[in-house]
Amino acid sequence: MIVVTTPTGQIGREVVTGLLDAAVSVRVIARDPAALAPAVRERVEVVQGSHADPAVLKEACEGAEGVFWLSPPNFAADSVERHFRAFTAPLVETIGVEDPFRVVAVSTLGRGVARNAGLVSASLSMDEAIAATGVRYRALCAPFLMENLLSQAASVRDTGTLSLPLVPDHVLRLCAVRDIGATAVSLLLDGTWTGQEDVPLASPDDLTPEGMAGVLGEVFGRPVSVRYIPSAENKALMTALGASEAWAQGYADMVDAQNEQHLYGASQVPTPDRAPTTFRRWCEEVLRPAAER
């Protein structure tokens, strides 16, 4: 039995589908079971609630051999650190009860580099707390998700503009959600690994945001330019859209760290064996169809 958190999220859906395709027993934790696709709902066990609830998590993990772990974002959180701790603490407690156990979690690149990096620092602290239990652990360390650009599909199509709070001429490592999901499934199906490791996930691309705009231009058949948004302006946009001051600041700190400390920069090595989806392929197969809907 494998437990999957965030089963209706972008990555969680990929993990659930991959495990079911492999004919593995799956138990999901869902706040709203009705949000699960009917074809999934009839094939999985469902524990209703939040995986930040110790009782819910304990029930879900009873008798399980592993868990896919993702701390979901909360744009209304009054503290980034408390938000991540609220999800991590119940897992740390449960790991001590359910043994042997394997945890595959979504984390981030930046270990050993990130300083005062907002959401990145909070995610890395989550890793450290889980690892301190001694559990068998794999942290999936992803950089900038290609899916972050889905909200800009119409802008790219209609105005030829890619807006980012990231320095336009610095290399930005990328990863597609599908590759994170596939790697998570592979690890969850493999009961032989032990110990604890980071698993970097970076596509074969060597692109700056300006280079990404060039690819977008070729895929969409029109010139595309980058609009650089300073982190302070981006923070103001986030709060105007309803994000809390704390969450918007945590995001701003993350962006500043990426620009200044190059958390997702050229020094991070691509891992095409684990993250084979190129940015061009993703644009052709995901972003352009999204813009055409």
Residues 113, 262 contacting (CB under 8 angstroms): yes
Number of H helices, E strands in the chain: 12, 11
pLDDT value of residue 98: 55
- Minimal CA–CA distance to 57: which of 88, 100, 22, 19? 88
Measured in degrees and rounded to the nearest 5, phi and psi for residue 23 equal 60, 40
Kindly list the averaged pLDDT for each block of 10 residues, start to end, along the chain of length 293.
Answer: 96 97 96 94 96 95 94 94 93 75 94 89 93 94 97 96 96 98 97 94 98 98 96 94 96 95 94 98 97 89
pLDDT value of residue 101: 84
Burial state string for 152-178 with b = 16 or more CB within 10 A and e = fewer than 16: bbebbbeeeebbbbbbbebbbbbbbbb
* Residues in CB range of 53: below 8 A, 6 or more apart: 90
Tokens 């772990």 label which residue?
Answer: 69
pLDDT value of residue 152: 95
| Three-class SS state of 50 | coil
pLDDT value of residue 25: 96
Is this prediction's pTM over 0.85? yes
Query: HSE on the CB side for 84, CA within 13 Å?
Result: 21
Domains and CATH numbers, the chain: 2-143+175-200 (3.40.50.720)
Burial state string for 9-26 with b = 16 or more CB within 10 A and e = fewer than 16: bebbbbbbbbbbeeeeeb
pLDDT value of residue 180: 98
pLDDT value of residue 100: 62
CA distance 203 to 277: 6
Q: Which residues pair with 192 in a beta bridge?
A: none
Measured in degrees and rounded to the nearest 5, phi and psi for residue 71 equal -85, 115
